[in-house]
Amino acid sequence: MSFFGFGSKTFVPHKNMPQGGADTRRYGELLRHAETTLGSGNLREAVALPEGEDLNEWLAVNTFDFFNQINMLYGTITEFCTQETCPVMSAGPRYEYRWMDGVQHKKPTKLSAPEYVDALMSWVQTQLDDEAIFPSKIGVPFPRNFKDIVKNIFKRLFRVYAHIYHAHFAKIVSLNEEAHLNTCFKHFLFFIQEFQLVPRTELEPLSELITQFNSE
């Protein structure tokens, strides 16, 4: 049975982090740092680049984590996000998202929300599994355009949050998951703001919520 009922390549646990020897340092220590600072409850502190650490490594380990967080959040409402209930990938009546990956969809293509999310997550997973983009070994450099790649990933992951809030928040509340959703999104928001990963125009669908979280 596939993870959360999706295709075998789409919703899966973490790509395995390097195990043993010097390779453990790249993601292992940074992951532990992230978990420790998150445990303090200070999300602003949790997203900041640890002193003396490499920016690309910090972006990489957090890309893995946020990808998996959103997988799990969306997984809780997949039975309610269907072709019938969500025939268009949108964030309210003013914002519609179309999918383009340059391979199967070479032009912006209208997809249902579950189809869009499935395509998006498969697309992200493919990049996370690519050693030329997310190297797992010490000494292997990140590509020169690594931050641009990360920006594109986070821009698209934001759209899943936008869809959940606009289309499925009532269901989230009925499942008593709104506090968890809000905490996860606030963590995601502070991270993309800290490193300027998503243009302000892309954040418009959740602008009121973002203003509220930034003022708390």
Q: What is the mean pLDDT of residues 136-165?
A: 94
pTM of the model: 0.83
Q: Under 8 Å CB-to-CB from 1, ≥6 apart: which residues? A: none
φ/ψ of residue 181, rounded to 5: -60, -45
CA distances from 30 to 14, 21, 34, 139, 176 (A): 15, 15, 6, 16, 31
Query: Contacts by 203-210 with C-beta closer than 8 Å and gap 24+?
Result: 203/158, 204/95, 205/91, 205/92, 205/94, 205/95, 205/162, 205/165, 205/166, 206/91, 206/161, 206/162, 206/165, 209/165, 209/185
CB neighbours of residue 2 within 10 Å:
11
For the stretch 158-191, pLDDT in tens is: 999 999 999 999 999 999 999 999 999 999 999 9
Give exposure, 139-178, as e/b (b: 16+ Cβ within 10 Å).
eeebeeebbebbbbbbebbbbbbbbbbbbbeebbeeeebe
Residue 103: band (very low, low, confident or very high) from pLDDT cuts 50, 70, 90? confident
Per-residue pLDDT, 136:
83
Task: Give strand pairing partners of 206.
Answer: none
- Give the whole-angstrom CA distance, residue 49 versus residue 34: 10
The residues with which 85 forms a beta bridge, in sequence order, are none
**Higher-confidence residue: 114 or 30?**
114
Q: What is the mean pLDDT of the chain?
A: 84
Task: Dump pLDDT digits (tens) for 85-99.
Answer: 999 999 999 999 999
Q: What are the residue boundaries of the structural domains of the chain, listed by start? A: 3-10+20-215
The CATH architecture one would assign to domain 3-10+20-215 is Up-down Bundle (1.20)
